[in-house]
Structure 1
Amino acid sequence: MPTPKPTPGSILSPLTFARANGGEITVGGPSKNWTLLVVYRGKHCPRCKKYLNTLNEMRAAWADAGFDIAVVSADSQEKAQADQAEFGWDFDLGYGLTEDQMATLGVYVTEPLSPQEADGCFAEPGVFVLREDGSQIIVSISNGPAVRPELGELLDGMIFNKQNDRPHRGTV
């Protein structure tokens, strides 16, 4: 049975993920800043790495605009740490995204084609932007690796939305 998709404007209940370099990351619910949450497929995905490398280069611009960044996959800690070390990602990188958490986010879930692809089911890409109250102003989910929001355009739009207190869209 397909997972229900998230409703723009709804409050994302707090989700907690283990952080690759120790500790935890919590997204959803009230926070001091807006949040950019990126769900990526995992270590096996070269398109994810390209996207996350771009995000890492834009980290300061997102922070200057008042956004916290959290990135998570269903990968193991070892895989997440290996990618973080190889690519030098400085954003909060989470691992161990569960199928229940995938369902809460409404992302598409895929069974691996082989054990070399992934250890188990993994999430397809999702990008979420949350206001300080945890409401979802942007929900972008894809059923495959080739479709994701362009990060520069997304940042520009989110700056405009923040400055002009624009509402969430897509609820009709």
Structure 2
Amino acid sequence: MSVSVKLSAGSNFPSVRVNTLDGTTITLGRAYHGALWQMVVIYRGQHCPLCTKFLNRLEEYKTRLQKIGLDIVAASADSISQLKEHKERLTTSYPIGYGLSQKQMQQLGLYISIPRSEQETDHDFAEPGLFVVNRLGEIIVIDISNNPFSRPELESLVSGLEWISDPDNDYPIRGTLAY
């Protein structure tokens, strides 16, 4: 059994860079295109039908998230060829990175799994993680899981983000007293 360090609410998001299919390198946790916040979604890989469903469903919320100044990026440990194959089943328009290393997955405090067989995938992979990072690089929302069927319900998540993004609500980062 290995020791895993989990990220804390209010802490700085680690500097993790990934490549995308168009050849650009993106830094996870750094908002782009004038956004104030970024949602970072880590998914298991193209072998996971629940991940495909989640990523496609998240696309349906993109406009609402953009209205509150939040952009989306997703990433996995898949290879470039696996992401190309996966893109055929995705309806997403937000950037998706590939090639997360085991070290990067550990930096993000994610659970990491060994494939059950070569038919599943050919590399260790991260279990789901979702982070919302503010313009200062602080983590304001953390959701990590050790399996693909325990993810935040998107309507609740997006409604909550809409509420906390409203300056009139003066909502602080919650859960900062981690031990």
Distance 2:159 2:122 in 1: 36
Tell me the CA shift for residue 165 of structure 1: 3.5
Partner of 2:72, secondary structure, is: strand
Gaps of 5+ in 2: none
Find the counterpart in structure 2 of residue 166 from structure 1. Answer: 171
Find the counterpart in structure 1 of residue 57 from structure 2. Answer: 54
Amino acid in structure 1 at the alignment position of 2:95: D
Amino acid in structure 2 at the alignment position of 1:20: L
Tell me the CA shift for residue 29 of structure 1: 5.5
Deviates more, 1:48-57 or 1:13-22: 13-22
TM normalised by structure 2 equals 0.90
Amino acid in structure 2 at the alignment position of 1:74: A
Contact 1:140 1:149 in 2 (8 A): yes
Partner of 1:139, secondary structure, is: strand
TM normalised by structure 1 equals 0.94
Contact 1:11 1:28 in 2 (8 A): no
Structure 1 residue runs of 4 or more that deviate by more than 6 Å after TM superposition: none
Aligned residues: 172
Percent identity between matched residues is: 39
Among 104, 126, 130, the alignment partner of 2:129 is 126
Find the counterpart in structure 2 of residue 64 from structure 1. Answer: 67
Contact 1:30 1:133 in 2 (8 A): no
Gaps of 5+ in 1: none
**What does residue range 18-167 of structure 1 map to in structure 2 within 5 Å?**
18-28=19-29, 32=34, 33-163=36-166, 164-167=169-172
Amino acid in structure 1 at the alignment position of 2:5: P
Find the counterpart in structure 2 of residue 13 from structure 1. Answer: 14
Distance 2:29 2:56 in 1: 24
